[in-house]
Amino acid sequence: MVNLNSPITELYRVGKTTSALLKKLGLDTVHDLLFYFPFRYDDFRHHAKISELLAGQNANIIGTIELIQNKKSARRRMYLTEALIADDTDTLKVIWFNQPFLTRSYKVGDKVSLAGRVSENYGSLAMISPVVEKIYSDDLIHTQGLIPNYHLTGNLTQKQIRFLIKEVIALADQEKDWLPIDIKERLRLLDLSKALRQIHFPKDLSEMTASRQRLGFTELFLRQLKAQMIKSELKSRRAIPIKFQEAETKRFVNSLPFKLTGAQRKSAWEILKDLEKTSPMSRLLEGDVGSGKTLVVILALLNVARNKKRSVLMVPTEILARQHFDHITRLLAPYDLKISLLTHSHKDPEGLKADIIIGTHALIQENIVFSDLALAVVDEQHRFGVSQRQRILDFGSTQERTPHFLSLTATPIPRSLALAIYGDLDLSIIDELPAGRKPILTRIITEDKRQAAYDFIRREIKAGRQAFVICPLIDESDRLGVKSVKAEHAKLDKDIFPELKVGLLHGKLKAAEKEKIMSDFLANRTQIIVSTSVIEVGVDVPNATMMIIEGAERFGLSSLHQFRGRVGRSDRQSYCFLFPSREEISNPRTVERLEALTRYQDGFSLAKIDLKLRGHGELYGTGQSGFPEFQIATLFDYENIKKAQAEASALINSDPRLEGHPLLREKLGEWEDQVHLE
Ligand code: ADP
Ligand code: MG
C-alpha cells in the first residue's frame, strides 16, 4: 500500500528518469508531492461551445477530432500539427508547434477536451498550442476548471505532475494537522487535509483562496515561530562587548574619499551601540543595491578588530568573497590587521586565526569552530533562510559566548513590513543613496536599434567606461533562441567590438578563472564582461556604467533590478539597456513588465509590480518572495504577516519550548531540515 512515506518510485509510471527529475525538485516521497504547491492556475472555468468563442478569451471546449495531421514548415524549420475539432455547434482549427508526437496519441474520432487561448488566425478563430486531454471520464484534470501549474525541471511536464498528485491526493487525509486548534478556529483556517486537496484541485475560486490562506499563513507562522524561538533563546545568551573606538573610527571615516550618507552614519551608530552590549546583537541592515552597506560593515569590523576580537563576513558567491576581501584589505591596509579569505578554492590554514575572516557560506557548512568570534556578518541575506541564521548562532557560539549577528539585505521593504517579517531582528535601514547618484537611464532596445546601441556603448567605452552584458543561459541548447553566453561573447568579441577586450564569465568556470576575469575587469584590462546571472549579487565595479541584458524578458523584475544595481555606482551617468528576444518584443505583457524598469528605480516598487503583473491573466503568481521557504506567502501579505507574528509570539510566551505542542515541534524540525537544503 502506498502511504505518505512511500518513495515516489512506488507510484505508477515513475521510472528512474522521472524520479531523478522529481528529486531535483526536492520530491522524494508522497508527502513531498502533496506539499509541492502550484505556483499558478490556468483559468479554464469558461466552458464554451465553439460557436460562442471570442478572440482573446481563455476557454475550455469539448469536441471530436475530425482531422489531425503534421506539416513541416520549411521556412521556420518546425513542425506544425493541425487539427479540426467539432462540437454540435461548429468546427475550430487548432495548431500546435513542434509536437509531432501528438498525432501518435490523438486520432480522428477521439473525444477531447482542449484548453487555451482563442486567437485570430488569418481571419478566423483558432486555438494555438492548447492543452489537450482525451476524455475517459468526467474527471478532467488538465483542461477544465482551475488548472494547477507547477514549477518543472528538465522535460517533466505539467501533465505528469498533475497525474501523480491526482493519484495520491486522497492520502492528504493522513497528514496530521499540526496547527494548534485554537489558532485554526480563531483565524477560521481550513484543516490541513482539506487545504491540501483544494490547493491542488480547487473546484472554484473560494476553495482556492481558502487553501492558499491556510497554507500561506502556515509558512509565515512557522517562520515567525522559529524567529521568536531564536529571540527568546538569545535573551539568555551573552556576547563579547566591543568598545567603541571613537577616535579611530572618526579617523577612518575622514580618510575616505567621500562623505558617509546620513543613513550610513545612523546605521553604523546603531550597530556600534549594539556591539557595546553584553547581550548579542541581532540586527538586519537593509538598503537597496548601491546604498553602501559594505562601508557600514567595515566600521563594525574595524571596531571588533581594534578590540582584539575576531569577525567573519559571509557571502553567497566566491566572486563576491574575493571582491570584499580585496576591498576591505585595501581600506584597512593602514591598520595592520590580518584579513583572510576562506572559500572552497582558498583554504588558508592560518585563516581561522585572522582578525577578519571573509568567505562563502561553505564556512557554515563545514562546521568550523571559531574561537573568540565576536561578530558574524552575513551579506545578501535574502539567499539565506531563517534557519541558516540559527546555524550561524550555533557555530559561533560557545557555552559562554554568542557572536553579535548582523545580516545584510537588499530586499527593499518598508520598515513596518520589515519589522513584522523579521520578527526577531532589530532593523537599520539605509534609505538614502550616496550623493551625486543619478538615476540609471533604462531603455528597452528593439532589434532595429541594436546597432545604434552598440555605437553608443563603443563611444562610452572609448571615453573610459565599461559594460556588463548579461545573458540567460550557458549553452545554445534552448530552442527559444535565447542568447547563450558563449555565443554572445564570441559575437561581441569578434564581430561587434573586435578592437576591445571582452571577458566571459559563467558558473562553470573554475574559481581561479573567475577571479582572473573579475580582476581584469576591475583593472579595466577588459572593457566588457559577458556573464550569466552569476553576476547578480553584490559585485562592485564603479567604473562600469552600462548594463546590457539580453533576453531580458526571461528574468523577474527583482533580478533585473539587481543586475541594474551593478551600475550607477559612481557620480557618472549610467545606463541599462534591455534587449528582449525578437519574439517577445510584441508581447504586451513583456513590454509592460520591462517598462516598469524604465520608470522605477527602487526595488520595492518593482517587486510589487512584478507580483501584480505575474498574476495577470493567471490567477496567482509566485513572486520571488526573497524567502526560500515560502511557496505561497509573499512579502505583501501584510495582514497575514501581522497575524502570524501575533500568534507565534503568544504561543512562544506561553510555551517557550513547545512542550505542549509535540506535533508542531516535530513539524518545525522537519521544516528546518527542509530549509537547510535550499
Ligand atoms: P551595496 O549596498 O549594494 O552593498 P556597496 O557597499 O557595494 O553597496 O557600495 C556601492 C558603491 O558606493 C561602492 O563603490 C562604494 O565604495 C560606494 N559608496 C559607499 N558609500 C558611499 C558614499 N557615502 N558616498 C559615495 N560613494 C559611496
Ligand atoms: Mg553589497
Q: Looking at residue 32, which CATH number applies to its domain?
A: 1.10.150
The CATH number covering residue 401 comes to 3.40.50.300
260 CB under 6 A from ligand 1? yes
Q: How far apart are CA 90 and CA 540, in angstroms?
A: 62
Residue 620 has pLDDT above 50, yes or no: no
Mean pLDDT value across the chain:
86
pLDDT (average), residues 609-626: 53
Q: Report helix, strand or coil for 65.
A: strand
Ligand 2 centroid to 331 CA: how many Å? Answer: 16
Mutate to test the pocket of ligand 1, among 258, 261, 326 (most ligand atoms within 8 A of CB): 258
In a domain, 614, yes or no: no
How does pLDDT run across 75-110, given as a tens digit for each residue?
Answer: 667 888 999 999 999 999 999 988 888 999 999 999
> Which pLDDT value is given to residue 65?
95
Secondary structure letter of residue 91 according to DSSP: E
Could you tell me if 275 and 421 lie in one domain?
Answer: yes
Q: Is residue 668 part of a domain?
A: no
Where a domain ends, among 601, 627, 661? 601
Q: Which residue has the higher pLDDT, 417 or 530?
A: 530
* Domain end point (choices 601, 630, 647): 601
CB 290 less than 6 A from any atom of ligand 1: yes
Residue to substitute in 286, 291, 433 for testing ligand 1 pocket (most ligand atoms within 8 angstroms of CB): 291
Closest-lying ligand 1 atom to the alpha carbon of residue 259: 23
Q: What is the pLDDT of residue 7?
A: 93
Tens digit of pLDDT for each residue in 476-495? 444 443 457 888 999 999 99
Cβ–ligand 1 contact at 432 (below 6 Å) = no
Q: What grid cell was written down for 137?
A: 471520464
Cα–Cα dist 233/393, whole Å: 10
**Alpha-carbon gap, residue 224 to 381, rounded angstroms:** 17
| Residue 279 pLDDT | 92
**DSSP string covering 456-477:** HHHHHHHTT-EEEEE-SBSSTT
Rounded (5°) CA angle 507-513-516: 120
**How many angstroms separate the Cα of 431 from the Cα of each of 253, 285, 473, 539?**
20, 11, 34, 20
Same domain, yes or no, for 24 and 55? no
**Structure confidence at residue 188 (pLDDT):** 96
Q: Is the pLDDT of residue 625 over 60?
A: no
Question: Are residues 421 and 451 both part of a single domain?
Answer: no
Q: 59: part of which helix (H) or strand (E)?
A: strand 58-73
Distance (Å, rounded) from C-alpha 539 to C-alpha 410?
13
Mean pLDDT value across residues 400-407: 87
Alpha helices in 543-602 (DSSP H): 557-564, 588-599
User: Is any ligand 1 atom within 6 A of the Cβ of residue 253?
Assistant: no
Same domain assignment for residues 319 and 448: no
* 538 and 567 assigned to the same domain: yes
Per-residue pLDDT band for 180 (boundaries 50, 70, 90) equals very high
Answer whether residue 611 is part of any domain: no
Q: Please tell me the predicted confidence (pLDDT) of residue 605.
A: 83
CA-nearest residue, atom 9 of ligand 1 = 292
Convert the pLDDT of each residue in 544-601 to its tens digit: 999 999 989 888 888 898 899 899 988 899 999 999 988 777 788 888 889 999 999 8
**Atom 19 of ligand 1: nearest residue by CA position:** 292
Beta strands in 74-195 (DSSP E): 78-86, 91-97, 111-121, 124-128, 131-134, 145-149
Judge if the beta carbon of residue 289 lies within 6 A of ligand 1: yes
pLDDT at residue 428 in the model: 93
- Helix, strand, coil fractions of the chain, as percent rounded to 5: 40, 20, 40
Q: How confident is the model at residue 616 (pLDDT cuts 50, 70, 90)?
A: very low
Find out whether 632 and 615 touch, Cβ atoms under 8 Å: no
pLDDT of amino acid 138 = 64
Distance 544 CA to ligand 2 centre (A): 16
Q: CA of 178: how far to CAs of 194, 223, 666, 668, in Å?
A: 14, 15, 9, 10
State which of 451-465, 517-531, 657-671 shows the largest mean pLDDT: 451-465
Between the CA of 275 and the centroid of ligand 2 the distance, in Å, is 21
Ligand that lies nearest to the alpha carbon of residue 430, given by its number in the listed order: 1
Supply the pLDDT for residue 480.
41
Ligand 1 atom with minimal separation from the 261 CA: 23
Q: Is residue 299 part of a domain?
A: yes
Last residue of a domain, one of 374, 399, 430: 430
Reported as a pLDDT band with limits 50, 70 and 90, residue 518 is confident
Region for residue 186 given its phi and psi (left: phi exceeds 0; alpha: psi -120 to 50; beta: otherwise) = alpha
Same domain, yes or no: 301 and 260: yes
Question: What backbone torsions phi and psi does residue 544 show, to the nearest 5 degrees?
Answer: -80, 120
Q: Would you say the CB of residue 411 lies under 6 angstroms from ligand 1?
A: no
Distance of CA 319 to the CA centre of its chain: 19
The model's pTM: 0.74
Please state the rounded mean pLDDT for residues 627-653.
82
Residue 120, exposed/middle/buried by CB under 10 A (0-12, 13-18, 19+)?
exposed
51 in the same domain as 32:
no
CB of residue 261 inside a 6 A radius of ligand 1: yes
Residue of 261, 288, 294 to test ligand 1 pocket, by largest number of atoms within 8 Å of CB: 294
Question: H/E element holding 313?
Answer: strand 310-315
pLDDT band with cut points at 50, 70 and 90 for residue 536: low
Same-domain status, 395 and 325: yes
Return the ligand 1 atom nearest residue 289 CA: 3
Within a domain: 618: no
CB of 287 within 6 A of ligand 1: the answer is yes
Q: What digits encode the pLDDT tens for the residues 16-54?
A: 889 999 998 889 999 999 999 998 888 888 889 999 999
Tell me whether residue 554 is in a domain. Answer: yes
Ligand closest to Cα of 537 equals: 2
The alpha carbon of 290 and the centre of ligand 1 are apart by a number of angstroms equal to 5
pLDDT at residue number 269:
97
Are residues 446 and 406 both part of a single domain?
Answer: no
Question: Would you say 626 and 557 are in contact if contact means Cβ atoms under 8 Å apart?
Answer: no
**Residues with Cβ within 8 Å of residue 427, at least 6 apart in sequence:** 283, 284, 286, 415, 418, 419
74 vs 55 pLDDT, higher one: 55
384 Cα to the center of ligand 1, angstroms: 22
What are the DSSP calls for 466-522, one per residue?
EEEEE-SBSSTT-TT-PPBHHHHHHIIIIII-TTS-EEEE-TTS-HHHHHHHHHHHH
Q: Does residue 568's CB lie within 6 angstroms of at least one atom of ligand 1? A: no
Same-domain pairing of 409 and 517: no
Where residue 197 falls among pLDDT bands split at 50, 70, 90?
very high
d(CA 274, CA 244): 10
pLDDT tens digits along 381-400: 654 455 556 666 666 667 67
Q: What is the pLDDT of residues 127-161, one digit of tens each?
A: 999 999 888 766 778 888 898 999 888 888 999 99
* pLDDT at residue 489 in the model: 92
Q: Is residue 92 part of a domain?
A: yes
Residues in the chain: 678
Given a cut of 50, is residue 229 above it in pLDDT? yes
Question: Alpha helices, DSSP H only, in 181-332?
Answer: 181-186, 192-200, 205-235, 246-255, 262-275, 293-306, 318-331
Q: Which atom of ligand 1 is nearest to the CA of 260?
A: 23
Establish whether residue 381 lines the binding site of ligand 1, counting it when its CB lies within 6 angstroms of any ligand atom.
no
Separation between Cα atoms, residue 29 and residue 148, nearest integer Å:
20
Q: What is the DSSP letter of 533?
A: G
Backbone dihedral angles phi then psi of residue 478, each to the nearest 5 degrees = -85, 130
Q: Looking at the DSSP assignment, which residues form a beta bridge with residue 430?
A: 287
Question: Is the pLDDT at 618 greater than 50, yes or no?
Answer: no
Q: How far is the CA of 292 from the centre of ligand 1 (A)?
A: 3
* Per-residue pLDDT at 477: 47
- 409: CA distance to ligand 1 center in Å? 14
Q: Which ligand number lies closest to the CA of residue 258?
A: 1
Domain count, the chain: 4
Q: Per the domain annotation, does 612 fall within a domain?
A: no
Query: Phi-psi bin for 380: left (phi > 0), alpha (psi -120 to 50), beta?
Result: left
From the CB of 267, is ligand 1 less than 6 Å away? no
Does residue 656 register a pLDDT over 50? Answer: yes
Look up the domain containing 112 and give its range: 46-143
Ligand 1 contact, 180 CB (< 6 A): no
Q: Minimum-distance ligand to the CA of 538?
A: 2
Shared domain check, 109 and 55: yes
540 lines ligand 1 (CB under 6 A): yes
d(CA 374, CA 371): 9
Residues 107 and 3 in one domain: no
Residue-level pLDDT at 674: 61
